[in-house]
Amino acid sequence: MSVAARPLHGLYSARLLLICAAGVLTVTGLAHTAAVGLVDAQLAIAFGALVAAGELARLTMPGNREVAPIGAAAALGYTLLLDVGGVPARHSALQVVAVMSAGMMLGALPHLAVGRPPRLDAIARRLLSGALLAFAYRPLAPALYATTGHGEGTWWVVLGVMAVLIAAMLAADVAIAAVLRAEQVRTALRVAIRDELRMAAPLGAAVAASGTLLALASHSMNLAALVVFAAPLLVTQVAFRKYAGIRATYLQTVRALARVTEVGGYVEPGHSRRVSVLALAIGRELGMAEPELLELEYAALMHDIGQLSLRDPIPGGATVLTDPRTARSIAELGAEVIRKTGVLDRVADIVRHQGDPFSGPDTPPLASRIIKAANAYDDLVGGSTDRDRAAAALERLRLDGGGEYDPVVVESMARVVDRLACAVRL
Amino acid sequence: MRELPWPAKAYLVATVATAVVLIARGLVAPGHLDGRDWPTLLVLALLFLVCESVPTLLNVKQAAMSVSFSAALAAVVLLGDVGAALVGATAVLSVRPGLELYKRVFNGAQFALCGYVAGWVFQWLGGSRSVPSVGRFTDLLVPFMGAAAVFVPLNALLFTVMVSLAGRLRLGEVPLRSAAQFLVSYLGYATFGLLIAGLWATVQSISAVLVLLPLFIARWAFGQYLAQQRSYDATIAALCQAVETKDYYTRGHCTRVSSASTMIAQEIGMGPERLRAIGYAGMLHDVGKLGVPTKVLQKDGNLTEEEFAAIQLHPMRGLEIVRGIDFLDEAFAGIMHHHERQDGRGYPMGLAGAEIPEFARIIAVADAFDSMTSDRAYRKAKPIEEALTELRRGSGTQFDPVMVSAFIKALDRRGWDPPGAMPAPPAGEDVDTVAKDHDDPTAPIQVVSER
């Protein structure tokens, strides 16, 4: 699906708007700076270099979210800067934008050279939220510096203003990210905001603290301290990189090992992967949040793992056609395997109830209902892209007399299948 | 406390007494702390306590490393020797769960000692005890580095003496690499102390928040990472066992090969990342076996060439399954080539000697050993000694002699827990009992030519 859907990304309007805005900003900032000349050149170069280093060390968080915490903190520090060792900093908001975009481009170059271009929307978002803060804060800078008695008095007013504006910027950043996300993965905006907030909160707090630190440090020390003051954030970045790495490996491993059922001839090739893709799309459509979606994906990938305990593969592996007793025992055996991990209890639960009828005495969990429908659909349609066959399968699931499938899930699946078919056609 | 041997008790009392005397003397004598220092002391002590109560567990399992160093070293600059000692002494009050009273008392005393000595060194090197004013930051660097350079090793020394007196330390077991890592991260935390002190003049206690917030978030993220790592290891083990359930006698084979491979790798001195990789490679080495038709595995007597080819394919099948995972490339090579032989008569590629990847040579030894020491449908498990004799016999022809001797050494040191006798499969259970084991070097698969 992702391959087929990729050409569509260019058509997403919010994403396009964002990239254009960032482009205009970059051009304006660079042109303005070129026209009036670089104020405090040394300072600009130092912070620009740190932005570039941060961009170079960008990382991808779970959910394919590209972040560059060190670069963001450097941009924040440059924006918030009031003075260096007692000499007021006079750079304008547009110069901040110019330094940021130059740094980002420079840092992205090595990635480009090895064929890993930055995600345009992610880099545009980083630039835009940084610019928003710069436009709000830089005009206030001289007045704010005066409240500190030119560096000799208290800094509480400045700290307060910084805190408020940074919070506003982070909120704006989350909002932009959520709009992009909602559009890209087709989920409700409300759900996307919650997901983005959960992902952004820890890193955002670390970036905010470090950015403020950078600005204040330049007040009491000289620029040499810049690198040292990025150190706390470096530790944070290392920790997050490790976390993102293991999350990615985890998903890859489950995806890979789910394929043993195919290699063993228990199910059709590609079955687990197709069911998981379909189930995820339905789950998003029905407003599931990201942690639930991850569980749904694991469960969908491993829903047939119980077949490994069967003596002989069921012909064709089509569990929609097996008798209910065998199907139930496959679900039980699979749940048992997953429960043995000791950590994926909820996934085990989803797998256990994957065969339960919707209108049974206990309503199975939503994730189980989704997997049941997606599994049945894939058993009937397989890897085929024939529209008639898909329509016939959907019709059959809609009309099932025994209340096997959740009608809401089936309707949502019909919409998802329709969308995917359109995407393939384009 | 009661289980401590008497030298440890004496050491504990001596440490505590020294710390108390130093602090008391400093408080009585004028010029060490004055009234203006108390608010700073309170803030730093509180900070130290918070940091000490939530230690960051970074890599080193035995020693809880903690951000509290930063607070203690900031106290050295801002408050001087006695102040730093007092801040360190608050470790007594730490609320870390599961920490006995005597340990907390010792911690407090040793931190106080370290703080005092570091403060003394700081002043001796010309650092003046005060809030460093803006612009005088560079004067601070040399004395501060001196203080940090004393604090960290002294702390490690006091701690190590205690642990060795308490008889919980065998020196050979502390790997040099992690000790070095430990020191480096402590010096890193020391730098953060300098940052806190340097910013104190501008924003006072907020400086501590700004420096430590990213660290606490890092700690949180690292905790998440460790939790995911554990969860991942459990998941991969469970899935591999699921692949094995069908074949009654090989259950648990993957986890045992994984641990035996890790033992060999440790013995030949592999780094942590490669150790983890070979653990996974050992775990996954036979996932491709599921692609071998059951009737081939169950067939009594000789195999045809075609059937043997099906068996020879399983390393490639395994590789095909796991290729999408971001492992070290070595792990893939290990899975792919774990049936190669030193004399070049193995499969799938017929590599020989040093052509065979290191991971594969390790897994080959672990694989054969576990197969021989486990029950099979056609024979009982061999005793460990007999299996080792087999390994030695095959050393140079089938196995890499280096890996065989490394394995024997590791076994000598740490022992091995064989799977134990498998009862005959219960009649009701629907399991396969395979008539041959492709891993068993003592019962090589016989192939007949079809012509």
| Residue boundaries of the structural domains of chain A | 2-248, 259-425
pLDDT of residue A321: 64
pLDDT for A257 beyond 80: yes
- Element holding B447 (H helix, E strand): strand B447-448
Mean of pLDDT values over A277-289: 93
A–B interface: beta-carbon pairs under 8 A:
187
Residues 280-299 of B with CB under 8 A from A: 287-288, 290-291, 294
Q: Is B430 in CB contact (< 8 Å) with chain A?
A: yes
Q: Is A145 in CB contact (< 8 Å) with chain B?
A: no
Name every chain A residue with its beta carbon within 8 A of the beta carbon of B135. 85-86, 220
- Element holding A75 (H helix, E strand): helix A69-80
Choose among B59, B55, B57: nearest CA to B67.
B55
Instruction: Give the one of B202, B218, B241 whose C-beta lies nearest to A239's C-beta.
Output: B218
Residue type, B449: S
Q: Is A80 in CB contact (< 8 Å) with chain B?
A: no
Mean of pLDDT values over A59-88: 88
pLDDT of residue B179: 67
- The span from the CA of A293 to the CA of A367, in Å, is 9
Query: Phi and psi (nearest 5°) for B338?
Result: -75, -5
Encode pLDDT of A38-54 as tens digits.
888 888 998 999 999 99
Predicted-complex ipTM score: 0.85
B201–A254 C-beta distance less than 8 A: no
Residue type, A407: P
Query: B213 or A302: which carries more pLDDT confidence?
Result: A302
Q: Is A160 in CB contact (< 8 Å) with chain B?
A: no
Name every chain B residue with its beta carbon within 8 A of the beta carbon of A232. 192, 195, 211-215, 218
Q: Token digits for B408?
A: 């024997």
Alpha carbon of residue A425 to chain centroid: 27
Q: DSSP string of B120-184? A: HHHHHTT--SSPPPTT-GGGGHHHHHHHHHHHHHHHHHHHHHHHHHTT---GGGS-HHHHHHHHH
- Mean pLDDT for chain A overall: 86
Encode pLDDT of B125-174 as tens digits.
877 766 666 566 677 778 888 888 888 788 878 877 887 777 665 555 55
Query: B436 or A108: which carries more pLDDT confidence?
Result: A108
Choose among A143, A146, A173, A157: nearest CA to A75.
A173
A85–B135 C-beta distance less than 8 A: yes
Q: How many CB atoms are closer than 10 A to CB B345? A: 11
Asked if B441 and B390 touch (Cβ cutoff 8 Å), the reply is yes
Residue type, A331: A
Choose among B166, B121, B161: nearest CA to B15.
B161
- The span from the CA of B363 to the CA of B283, in Å, is 10
Q: How many CB atoms are closer than 10 A to CB B193? A: 28
Return the DSSP state at A276: H
Q: Is B134 in CB contact (< 8 Å) with chain A?
A: yes
Alpha carbon of residue A40 to chain centroid: 37
3-class secondary-structure state, position B440: coil
pLDDT of residue A6: 45
Q: Token digits for B244?
A: 């094995």
Asked if B252 and A274 touch (Cβ cutoff 8 Å), the reply is no
3-class secondary-structure state, position B247: strand
Name every chain B residue with its beta carbon within 8 A of the beta carbon of A309. 242, 245-246
- Specify the range with the lowest mean pLDDT, choosing from A328-337, A375-384, B208-217, B272-281: B208-217
- Cα distances (angstroms) measured from residue B351 to each of A23, B29, B369: 55, 78, 21
Please identify which residue in the block is written with the tokens 């420079």. Answer: A106
- The span from the CA of A369 to the CA of A352, in Å, is 11
Q: Is A269 in CB contact (< 8 Å) with chain B?
A: no
Alpha carbon of residue A85 to chain centroid: 40
Query: For the domain with range A259-425, which CATH number is right: 3.90.1150.10, 1.10.3210.10, 2.60.40.3710, 1.10.730.10?
Result: 1.10.3210.10
Encode pLDDT of A24-38 as tens digits.
999 999 999 999 988
Q: Token digits for B178?
A: 């992690």
- The span from the CA of A238 to the CA of A236, in Å, is 5
Instruction: Give the one of B191, B221, B239 whose C-beta lies nearest to A257's C-beta.
Output: B239
Q: Is A85 in CB contact (< 8 Å) with chain B?
A: yes
Encode pLDDT of B205-247 as tens digits.
788 888 878 888 888 888 888 889 999 999 999 888 888 877 7
B201–A243 C-beta distance less than 8 A: no
- Mean pLDDT for chain B overall: 81
Where are the alpha helices (H) located in B173-271, listed in sequence order?
176-203, 205-244, 253-267
B206–A250 C-beta distance less than 8 A: no
Domains of chain B and CATH, by start: 6-225 (1.10.1760), 245-448 (1.10.3210.10)
Q: Is B220 in CB contact (< 8 Å) with chain A?
A: yes
pLDDT of residue A274: 92
pLDDT of residue A10: 45
Asked if B371 and B253 touch (Cβ cutoff 8 Å), the reply is yes
Asked if A71 and A108 touch (Cβ cutoff 8 Å), the reply is no
Mean of pLDDT values over B264-268: 93
pLDDT for A269 beyond 90: no
Where are the alpha helices (H) located in A286-323, listed in sequence order?
290-301
Tell whether omega for the bond before A269 is within 30 degrees of 0, i.e. cis.
Answer: no
3-class secondary-structure state, position A84: strand
Q: Token digits for B313?
A: 């394919």
Q: Sorting pLDDT into bands at 50, 70 and 90, what band is B431?
A: low
